[in-house]
Chain A
Amino acid sequence: AILLRDSGESPSEIRAQLGEIMDNEVGLFRNQETLESSLKAIRFLKERFSKIALARSDSMFNYSLIRALELENTLDLAEVIAMTALMRRESRGAHWRTDFPERNDGSFLKHSLVTLVDDYLKTEYIDVNLGMFEVKERTY
């Protein structure tokens, strides 16, 4: 469908903006406010992506098409990353919530699982396989 569209913006600006957002606001240090605004911005970029157009090119080694398809997948993953970071109101490993600096095993010793069901994202927490290592706070 991307190849059939005659007019629309190019994906490169969307790619650059997504990079900025993910780098600056969905990186190591996160908080409710910026995650919410980032999630909104990512969803807006997804909207924009649905209207992009690519210049005519040969079908052989069409790397600009490959990069556009990669961006489509990257946008999906970015949305899921921001959603689950928002849900996880604790700090754990490389996920630092400045508004929830403590680790909370009671609520979040779980895997975040996101599944695409028809056209919405189903989110749930599933159990972690425990037993091999003792669960404890990491200190440095």
Chain B
Amino acid sequence: MLFRIARSRKGGGITHYDLYKVDSFKGMTVLDALFQIQDSMDESLSFRYSCRGAVCGSCAMLIDKVPRLACRTQVNTIKDSGVELRGPFSPIASVPLGWNSEEEILIEPLPNLRILKDLVVDMNAFYNALKIMELWVEPPDDEEPRLQKPEERKRIDRYVNCIMCALCYGSCPINERKKEYIGPAALAKAYRFYEDSRIDERNRFLNAAKAPNGAPLCELVMNCVRVCPKGVAPGGAIRKIKNL
């Protein structure tokens, strides 16, 4: 199995692509393949990973032009996975010279975030949205646990599952065009707090989500829903925010 991998030694932009021949096995994930390359072909290849099981969200990257987690993507299913992204934007629409899309798996850094080295991107723009919107609560230290009924919890279940991998951020054409857009994950998280029955100041979260750099910029392209590995479906939350 051939892998064509985007390289960037100094960061900033992709400088070239390297081609590697990987020995594939049944059940092999893209992350397994990257380890094999680092172990036996090219120790200089950099990529992030941690849990190997779609829990930590570290290995988000562009695999055959679709943002996916390397640990959760099996090599032998990539060519017929059929994820169609809408509103094509430059990193997704442009194809590197010489890529044989039938024979080679194409691995590139997650779009819309600055490249630091090879497949490692700067997550600050993504994380900063949480700071800007203050997406947390600060209950008094001595407080008793706040209880919640199962049906109340059900309303936020979907959003609580977010692992902050930024696949949605990398799939969104608005994030590519408008650097100020805080992105789908942060909006889904704001909605999660707004819908949480234990929260006193719900409207603070709604107002943050409705700010000019938030939900109003979303054009409901819904790529975020297509690429989310945890079924969070941020686009659904954004649609609800828009209607509130």
Residues of A at under 8 Å CB distance from B? 10, 12, 15, 54-58, 60-64, 67
Contact = CB atoms under 8 A, between A and B. Distances in A.
Interface residues of B, number: 13
A58 B46 CA distance: 10
Nearest to A54: B43
A10 B40 contact: yes
A61 B40 contact: no
A61 B43 contact: no
A63 B47 contact: yes
Contacts of B45: 63
A64 B43 contact: yes
Nearest to B11: A60
B40 A62 contact: no
B118 interface: yes
A63 B38 contact: yes
A57 B43 contact: yes
Nearest to B44: A57
A61 to B, nearest CB: 4
A57 B118 CA distance: 13
A61 B39 contact: no
A67 B47 CA distance: 12
B38 A61 contact: no
A58 B40 contact: no
B108 to A, nearest CB: 16
